[in-house]
Chains A and B, each alone.
Chain A
Amino acid sequence: MHINYWRELTRSNFGKLGLVLLCLVLVIAIFAPFLARYDPGEPSLSILMPPSFAHLLGTNDIGQDIWSRLLCGAKNTLLVALGVGVFTTLLSTVIGASAALVGGLYDRILMRVIDALIVIPAFIVIILVAAYVLPNVWTLIFLISILTWQGGARLVRAQTLSLKERMSVYAARTFGANKLYLVIRHIIPDLSPILFAVFIHSATRGVFMEAGLAFLGIADISTVSWGLMMHHALRFYYLDVWKWWLIPTGLALSVTIMALVFIGHAFETAMDPRLRKMEQEDWQC
């Protein structure tokens, strides 16, 4: 199981591409305040202007600079990706691993709860909740995570069940290792590929859901979000503005999602022996 994931990731073209794209979005998010030429929220009298030197991507319906908003939107997107990724992974790990390690009634109850929760359509529930709670970025991260951790928990549980039967764990136990030591030293490190996969998968889903909800108008309208930008841009699709308002925003969103998917895919190949084998066979052809 002890593979150099970084090497595997960078050896794959898709992994590299994903990393480059993600780094690009990350750089944009970090340096947005320096790259943006205007306050992204400041309305102006230059309304629905086409791209020009002053406004690289033109302006929107209330005269805000689209380029500046696009840059600032990256921060929101990455925040959601990171937030949902971390929170979901944490929930999945705690619940999945504890179910596998404790076992018995606790495990059975948790698994049935997961079975019940997994059928709840997260999108619809969030739309309903948003009617009562201000759907700001933190609320959304919380809601998306709380409604989508079940799949990850199942994966973690299955992997933990397998890990705890490993020879290395038995050996450690015979040498007198206590449960905490086993978990920290043997189980968690070997779970890390799965956790990373859960993280990437959740982050992708988080970005996608946040954008989708904002696109439907379920968002804090005072934040700068790519989904919200597309939501507003669609009101003016009958004008030419969609070329410099809708398309770049859609592209930015697609690039972010693709970057995450590429990384996830490269990683999946690296840690799945079967896929690795096929890859190697491919290599030899």
Chain B
Amino acid sequence: MKNKHVAIVTLLSILLFSLLTGLAIARADSGNTNAGDVTYIIADPTGDWGYPTPHGHYPRGPGYVRMSLIFDTLVWKDTQSFVPALATDWEYLEDENAYLFHLRKGVTWHDGEEFTAEDVAFTYNYVKEHPSWWVDLKSLKQAEVLDEYTVKIYLNERYAPFLNNDAGTLAILPKHIWQDVVDPAEFREPESLIGTGPFKLVDYSKTHGTYLYEVNKDYYRGKPDIDSLKFVKISEEMSATALMRNEVFATAILPETVAEVGAAGFVIINQSGNWNAKLMINHNKAPMSSKEFRHALAYAINRTELVEIAQRGHAIQGSPGLLSPTSPYYNPNIPYYEYDPERAKDILEGQGYQLREDGYYWKEGEVLELELITASRFGFERVAEIIARQLEDIGIKVNLRSLEWKTLDSRVITRQFDLAVSGHGGIGGDPAILNKVILGKFGYSANYTKNDTLNQLLEAQLHEMDEEKRKEMVREIQKVYAEELPALTLYYPTWYWGHDGSVDIYYTLGGIASGIPIPLNKLAFMEYKGQVEAPAPAATEAPVPGFELLISILALTAVAYLVIKRRKD
């Protein structure tokens, strides 16, 4: 009886252990390919990104990309520059502060109706009334139809990002379908998915996080070479394995798998500089309200170590000016705050802090103690761990805390924090993003309006239509921002994608539309090279449960031995 009990307990322990380690060898569901027609399968770790209409998708890049396959914009981008989409050419009329678009002829909606200037004017006026997550059209005064294929868009004021953030991002809707729709976010009838894009949605499963598209044979650029396109949900840890087993054609892969995927003959593409991880500093609260104190923090943090260790080398060191060296607006001539712990200590001592025997700085009977919060995404916990050690090394006591992502955002928005490790994308696109992340009140924004020069420069760059002058302003903004240092950019992570080479997916100039750093530009799918030397299913060493099995057998043997021994006794 007793032995039975013990055996059960032991087995349960083994079971628990096996369960935990078993998670490590869990396999993802595999995608499948149909022989005959070509279904290009793309893996995605999240799966569901919302209903793919302009107002229905989730306000994140992957949601927009899924929508962009169905709907077109007036202009689009490729690897180099803006390219014509529904508009064949366009010009800015300085006197009238308006853009004139000449539209493509012979374009039809998926339901066979003809696309005209009426649709464009309708969409602009409609979205101004019903802003989407992605485009708000605050700069729009009015859209006017000049003739069947010409439309003029008047702006309220000069607005430099218009082409990128509005004309290149706003999906054009069919007037004959949307004119009576009052609540566009809830409009989910089959006709809500009628666009002019290269793909039509066949199936969408919110539960499984899958999207299946078929090609639009009447697409104005010609029929895409593949037959259908499918997004399947596969965890990011399993993506590389799925790719190497030819279960998917393209996927984002983790940096550690790049060498293996590349060696197996797959194409690797990467991009950095569009996303930044940063140390948010609560500049409303003492002692961080002092600019010099913020400088001390910057000198105390070794950003090279963060890149080398926390990112394992897969990142570019952060520039205190926010924009990355890959941006055309980047300014290298700004205070850089290279790691200099001695200088950091000098600044602290200059502020009246004294280093005591306990290894911490004290002032007026209080120890210098800061709370550093973060969330368990993007490896931020590890970044925060290293920063905490670096700050402790110079004598700042740090209380480290990992929160749920939304709680972190909310603590930053309500300014209930000292330091926070967070991040955001979009910095590879139009510099209008600077206004959002410096002045805005989002979880990733510095929320810093104390410097008038900075405020004025940020406002002015939005309205400067001369590109060179605008670049100059943005460079100046980075300089002032780096001096004020309301937040410190730590690094720009490098993202990797792997694909089988049958479709040359690529990163769009400055990101898709207003700056989405995902290499799934719909134009890439126009050409399919066929099963190019389909890389042999890589002989990946399956994580066999050998260890687990061995341990289980050992444990069982031990139990059996004890039971038998007891019986013999």
Contact = CB atoms under 8 A, between A and B. Distances in A.
A43 B16 contact: no
Given A222-B388, A265-B9, A217 B376 contact: yes
Majority secondary structure, A binding face = helix
A282 B254 CA distance: 57
A246 B24 contact: yes
A33 interface: no
B286 interface: no
Interface residues of A, number: 50
A240 B257 CA distance: 11
B20 A230 contact: yes
Contacts of B551: 247, 251
Given A14-B562, A265-B6, A265-B9, A282 B1 contact: yes
Contacts of B23: 234, 237
Contacts of B399: 134
B356 interface: no
Given A134-B401, A230-B20, A238-B257, A285 B567 contact: yes
A131 B376 CA distance: 13
Interface in B368-404: 376, 379, 381-382, 384-386, 388-389, 399-404
A45 B6 contact: no
A250 interface: yes
A47 B312 contact: yes
B241 A258 contact: no
Nearest to B561: A13
Nearest to A219: B402
A243 interface: yes
Interface in B528-569: 541, 543, 547-548, 551, 562, 565-567, 569
Interface string A249-272: 011011001100110010001000
Contact of B2 (A44, A63, A246, A278): A278
Interface stretch (B64-72, B108-116, B302-310): B302-310
A220 interface: yes
A82 B10 CA distance: 22
Nearest to A274: B1
Contacts of A42: 389
Contacts of B2: 265, 269, 275, 278-279, 282
Contacts of A269: 2
Nearest to A127: B404
A91 B388 CA distance: 37
Given A63-B309, A278-B1, A282-B2, A221 B256 contact: no
Contact of A258 (B13, B381, B541): B13
A107 interface: no
Contacts of A41: 385, 389
Contacts of B21: 242, 246-247, 250
A258 B24 CA distance: 22
B16 A254 contact: yes
B256 A48 contact: yes
B457 interface: no
Contacts of B388: 222
A236 interface: yes
A27 interface: no
B563 to A, nearest CB: 10
A190 interface: no
B407 interface: yes
A278 B379 CA distance: 55
A250 B17 contact: yes
Contacts of B385: 41, 43, 62, 221-222
Interface string A204-233: 000000000001010011100000001011
A131 B543 contact: no
B25 interface: yes
A221 B381 contact: yes
Contacts of A240: 541
Interface of A: 13-14, 17, 41-45, 47-48, 61-63, 131, 134, 215, 217, 220-222, 230, 232-240, 242-243, 246-247, 250-251, 253-254, 257-258, 261-262, 265, 269, 275, 278-279, 282-283, 285
Given A250-B21, A275-B1, 7 more contacts: A13-B565, A14-B6, A44-B309, A47-B312, A221-B385, A222-B385, A237-B23
24 contacts: A14-B6, A43-B386, A61-B379, A134-B399, A221-B400, A234-B23, A235-B237, A237-B23, A237-B237, A237-B543, A238-B254, A238-B543, A242-B21, A243-B547, A246-B20, A250-B21, A251-B551, A258-B9, A258-B10, A262-B9, A275-B1, A282-B3, A282-B566, A283-B569
Interface of B: 1-3, 5-6, 9-10, 13-14, 16-17, 20-21, 23-25, 237-238, 240-241, 254, 256-257, 305, 308-310, 312, 376, 379, 381-382, 384-386, 388-389, 399-404, 407, 541, 543, 547-548, 551, 562, 565-567, 569
